[in-house]
């Protein structure tokens, strides 16, 4: 069970995003003719997720290193994984926002098929990465106080 959770946490966002892209290609969902509202919302979503996760990472990094939780997470190797997942999601959020802004500025880019695929991939990767780290944090918060 732990191996399954490890692999699903590690590779889940990649597999989910590839699956979404394949589904999008299979359904042949075209971009709207005027996608500016979608990209404005995407920039906001990416910025909000990035800000939330950067704050979360800062909080995690300031936790007392001698606490029971941090000691257990360090010994198991999970603390570095959590920080890595946070950093990865923050980078994807920034990239997603910048990419959406680029498409918003030059709408010709939105008509390029490979850019559409990349945008769908980034959107689904950001969503699934955010879900992954949120689930991990919720599991930590559900731990009894004496283990935190």
Per residue in 15-37, pLDDT (tens digit) is 999 999 999 988 877 777 777 78
Has residue 30 been placed in a domain? no
Per residue in 92-126, pLDDT (tens digit) is 999 999 998 888 888 788 888 888 899 999 999 99
Distances (CA, A) of 2 to 10, 123, 128, 134: 12, 28, 20, 18
pTM of the model: 0.83
Has residue 50 been placed in a domain? yes
Has residue 51 been placed in a domain? yes
Has residue 20 been placed in a domain? no
Residue 64 has what pLDDT? 67
Has residue 124 been placed in a domain? yes
Q: Which domain holds residue 87?
A: 37-147
Has residue 5 been placed in a domain? no
Has residue 127 been placed in a domain? yes
Number of domains the chain contains:
1
Has residue 12 been placed in a domain? no
């Amino acid at each position: 069970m732990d191996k399954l959770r490890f692999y699903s946490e590690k590779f889940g966002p990649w597999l989910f995003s590839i699956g979404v892209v394949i589904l999008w290609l299979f359904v042949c969902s075209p971009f709207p003719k005027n996608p500016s509202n979608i990209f404005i919302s995407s920039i906001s979503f990416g910025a909000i997720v990035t800000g939330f996760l950067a704050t979360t990472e800062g909080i995690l990094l300031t936790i007392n290193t001698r606490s029971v939780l941090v000691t257990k997470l360090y010994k198991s190797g999970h603390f570095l994984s959590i920080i890595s997942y946070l950093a990865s999601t923050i980078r994807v959020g920034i990239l997603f926002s910048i990419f959406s802004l680029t498409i918003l500025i030059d709408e010709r880019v939105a008509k390029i098929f490979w850019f559409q695929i990349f945008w769908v991939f980034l959107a689904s990767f950001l969503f699934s990465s955010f879900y992954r780290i949120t689930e991990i944090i919720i599991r930590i918060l559900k731990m009894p106080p004496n283990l935190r």
